[in-house]
Amino acid sequence: MAGFLSAHGYEPGPTQRPISAGAISGILATVPAIGLLQLFGSLQVEARIVGMPVAATIGAGWLLMAFAGAIYARLLGRAANDVRGGWLFGMAFGFALWATGAVFILPLVGNGEIPAGRPATGVFLSLVLWGGCLGGLLPVVHRRLHLSLDEPGIAERLGPSLAAPRPAR
């Protein structure tokens, strides 16, 4: 990791779209996580705790996971774009979300209630799965959003010619 950062830097380049890629990856990674929540019965428990219908809980979850994906991509910078280790960074981020969201924030929103037993296990596993999927998907999604300097007008706006003095018109 240190070699990667020293060779390429931490900050994403001007042609990269980490926040958009993170949000899109977060939305896509939510699909398997919802399946796991459904399998463990966690979705119904979460909906009851927050006092919303299951469909509204899924919608709110998708928005929150898009936001969390954008934060992940911005927080980790170029490291989030690592094809070999992104899934592991994502799983660690998912664990951190579980620790802050399901353990700390959900009881505040739900008047002290938290999932217990099998639903609690589902919440934990779904966030770790979401993070792993997020980390695995982000490099793929990011490559699709990455601007090419070969596109007309991009090199003039972002490339080496940006720093060069421009002739008077």
Classify residue 3: in a domain, yes or no: no
Classify residue 82: in a domain, yes or no: yes
Classify residue 150: in a domain, yes or no: no
User: How far is CA 21 from each of CA 12, 68, 161, rounded to the nearest angstrom?
Assistant: 12, 12, 27
Classify residue 155: in a domain, yes or no: no
Q: Name which residue leads in pLDDT, 94 or 3.
A: 94
Classify residue 1: in a domain, yes or no: no
Classify residue 164: in a domain, yes or no: no
Contacts of 88-91 spanning 24+ positions with Cβ under 8 A: 88/132, 88/135, 89/135, 90/29, 90/130, 90/131, 90/132, 90/133, 90/134, 90/135, 90/136, 90/138, 91/128, 91/131, 91/132, 91/135
CA distance 159 to 20: 21
Percent of the chain with pLDDT over 70: 77
Give the model confidence (pLDDT) of 54-91 as tens digits.
Answer: 999 999 999 999 999 999 988 887 777 777 888 889 99
14 — pLDDT class (breaks 50, 70, 90): very low
Residue 24 lies in domain: 16-144
Classify residue 81: in a domain, yes or no: yes
Q: How many domains does the chain have?
A: 1
Give the model confidence (pLDDT) of 19-60 as tens digits.
Answer: 888 899 999 999 999 999 999 999 999 899 888 999 999 999
Classify residue 139: in a domain, yes or no: yes
Mean pLDDT of the chain: 80
Q: pTM of the entire structure?
A: 0.75
